[in-house]
Amino acid sequence: MKKLIIVSMMVVTLFGCANVKLKTSKSYISNDETKISITINKGLGVSITEDQYQLLENQITEGLAKKGILASNEKVSQHSAVVSLHSFKLRDDAARLLVGILAGCDKIDSTVSVTDKSTRNEIGSSSISIKECAAWGVAEKVIKKYADGIVSFLSTKNVLGAKKQPNYYVQPNSVEGSEPTASRVIQTQTSKQKNDIDEKIRENKQYKKKSTLIACQKEHAHLFFACQ
């Protein structure tokens, strides 16, 4: 039993299980029609190499591009996302292998804010972080997993897949400001569709009647009451 516990602890120590944590204060809902630009800001005292910064930026932009929401450039974007790095600590891969968890943990802390460029209002915000203390692995994988968390937050769609909401027709006797029930929405939509169809039928009948009358009058112009 002791052996099993020791082996289990060694596996966790070696391979770990880094999870990206999101603490969302204002959810951002994306859609395919609205494009977003991304900016990564380093806070004071944050140490990140040029290679690490480039890898992080590439992972985020590629992820957003795959989701179809990345703007080709800043000028054409409707929304602007800013990733603010508060702490960025990644162990050296060699030190990780040599001394394991004694080298400490990988840790990235940040906040992400999304702004509507037309109104300048904040329309989404979240704290996003990752912590990895495993002795096995490479820093690159930690960056990639953290970037996936950023992409996940910025590409969340609503329950309807971010498509346009249907137009609801509320019955006249409904209370102003109240939400229509599902059955009422279906009934009112069905009633409107039926009324539209009935109106088209009436228009067609009137058109046919008028056409018949005109044809009759042309044929029997000499008979005054023939087409009445």
Sign of the Cα torsion 170, 171, 175, 179 reads: negative
Could you count the other beta carbons within 10 Å of the beta carbon of residue 128?
A: 21
pLDDT band at 97 (very low <50, low <70, confident <90, very high): low
Q: Note the pLDDT tens digit of each residue in 156-209.
A: 987 554 443 333 333 334 334 444 444 443 344 455 555 666 676 676 666 666
Query: At 91, is the pLDDT very low, low, confident or very high (cuts 50, 70, 90)?
Result: confident
pLDDT at position 52 is 94
179 DSSP assignment: P
Q: Which residues contact 24 (CB under 8 A, 6 or more apart)?
A: 125, 126, 127, 153
Residue 74 vs residue 184, higher pLDDT: 74
Q: What distance in Å separates the CA atoms of residue 35 and residue 69, rounded to the nearest whole number?
A: 5
Strands (E) located in the chain: 19-26, 36-42, 79-89, 106-116, 122-132
Q: Can you tell me whether residue 188 is helix, strand or coil? A: helix
> What pLDDT does 144 receive?
95
Distance CA 92, CA 104 (A): 10
67 pLDDT band, cuts 50/70/90, is: very high
For residue 115, is pLDDT > 70?
A: yes
For residues 59 and 1, the model is more confident at 59
Task: List, for residues 7-42, the tens digit of each pLDDT value.
Answer: 333 333 344 556 889 899 999 999 888 999 999 999
> What does the alpha-carbon distance between residue 167 and residue 74 come to, in Å, rounded to a whole number?
33
Is residue 111 a contact partner of residue 126, using CB atoms and an 8 Å limit?
Answer: yes
User: What is the pTM assigned to this prediction?
Assistant: 0.62
Cβ-Cβ contacts under 8 Å for 119 (sequence gap 6 or more): none
Task: Identify whether the C-beta of residue 129 lies closer than 8 Å to the C-beta of residue 110.
Answer: yes
